[in-house]
Amino acid sequence: MDRREFLYGLNASLGSIAFSAMLSDELDAAPNQVKQPHFPQAKAKHCIFLYMEGGPSHIDNFDPKSKLIDLHEQEFNRSGERQSAMSSGKRYYVKSPFEFRKAGESGADMNTNWEHLARVADDICFYRGLQVTSVNHPTANYHVNTGNRFGGDPAIGAWVNYGLGSPNKNFPGFVVLPELSFPQGGPSNWNNGFLPTRFQGTTFRPSGSPILDIEPVKGMTTRRQRNNLDLLKVLNRRHSQKHPQHDQLVARMENYELAYRMQSEIPDLMDLDDETVHAHNLYGIGEPETDNFGKRCLLARKLVENGVRFVQVYASTWDSHDYIERAHGSLIKRVDKPIAGLLQDLKERGLLESTLVIWMGEFGRTPDNGIRGGIKYGRDHNPNAMAVWMAGGGVKAGHTIGATDELGMEAVEVVHPLRDLHVTILKLMGLDDNKLTYFHSGRYKQLSQFGGEVINELIA
């Protein structure tokens, strides 16, 4: 008898009884059982990640560069220095078409189009020292979301869900609120990778039913559906006893049970009409420019309020190679009021302190651009400088940390690679990147890939 036959033979002995008992315990336990954090003193219990897909320009949002006014339309030719990531042909310096102001008592730099966000500037920590390594959208999105430029690894929301579990067993621990079209790279930006499937992000559709088939089919009573699931559980357990190596079956059974519980919870959660007029006004719901993103921000608040651990909200098309004044101007109007409303709403409800809010894209943009077919000012991809801000959850509110050079080309103060930001986010959530590991392909893996350094300047 070889090793495989011996292990299978356990099914007919006491090994079968032990396996059945362990499987029963696993199936009967809550899928996202709450776990103790590595750092019990951490304030952040939930995270809302506002992902501006496409690469928002730091120079035109929160990091103004007056030097570009003097250099505007001068040819970009700095010998001996690394030029823009996409440089080709003649390049020209481009000044920002936006006006800036100092917002709040903290004096945060903001494009004046951020009319509503300026009200909550003192709740925000701006960070200007981050650098990434990818300049192509799919790989950059994967890098920010999973720590791996090539995809396939667990998303940060999956890691947090794995490390902490979810307080509400009737909801997924990791929910994604995309726009009508998915970001470049698709669902791999929120997958579970090598973690069990229950930790992957669950997408809620932006229109119609949030999840397909969330409503039972016509004529299907709750009792009948419960009986069907109980019978399926019995059959699946029998199959598991015969094929113990099929560990994904347990996760699938958990997903069936979660879907059943969600049918009674999701419809009420998705009903935004039960929110106050004040809440609708805060998020810009009912207003043409802000309604879509506002609804998703309000839903994000409702999700964390109901125990969902990690929510990611996408706003796309920030890839402004041309016409940046028109493009970024329109995008800011779309998200400004909803984001400010989210921060204010969380604060009014006493949730901001326990909810980490993150705003960022996959990279920043260059101080220069080519002129293609006439003057259409825009900017190219820039991995060496970008805009990131965080609020709530124990961050150093009312501060601007780090700096870029006088042109906005590279970060020069409190400079850190992306893996350090990942480690810092985990630390704010109470998790130690070096302890939050999973054994896969012969070694223990982690979000940062091979370790990182906490950016202590961002933590209060």
Q: Give percent above pLDDT 90 in the chain.
A: 67
CB 45 within 8 A of CB 212: no
- Report, in this order, helix, strand and coil percent for the chain, each rounded to 5: 40, 15, 45
**Residue ranges per domain, the chain?**
45-213+267-458
Give start and end residues of each alpha helix (H) in 75-168.
Answer: 137-146, 156-164
Tens of pLDDT along 41-96? 999 999 999 999 999 999 999 999 999 999 998 887 755 555 555 555 678 899 99
Examine the pLDDT at 260 and tell me if it is beyond 70: no
- The DSSP-derived string for 32-81 is T-----SSTT----EEEEEEETT---STTTT---THHHHHTT-B---TTS
Write down the pTM of the prediction: 0.85
Tens of pLDDT, residue by residue over 141-172, are 999 999 999 989 999 999 999 999 988 888 88
Task: Look at residue 27 in the predicted model and tell me its pLDDT.
Answer: 36
CATH class entry, domain 45-213+267-458: alpha beta
Distances (CA, A) of 132 to 194, 376, 385, 409, 416: 24, 27, 8, 13, 9
Residue 270 pLDDT > 80: no
Alpha-carbon span 13 to 408, nearest angstrom: 69
Give whole-number Cα distances, 106 to 63, 96, 112, 118, in Å: 15, 23, 16, 11
Has residue 247 got a pLDDT over 70? Answer: no
Q: How far apart are CA 113 and CA 324, in angstroms?
A: 13
Residue whose tokens read 């357990």? 237
Tell me: pLDDT of 392 over 90.
yes
Give tens-digit pLDDT for 410-439. Answer: 999 999 999 999 999 999 999 999 999 999
Query: What's the CA gap between 237 and 234, in Å, rounded?
Result: 5
pLDDT recorded at residue 25: 37
Whether residue 16 is predicted with pLDDT greater than 50 in this model: the reply is no
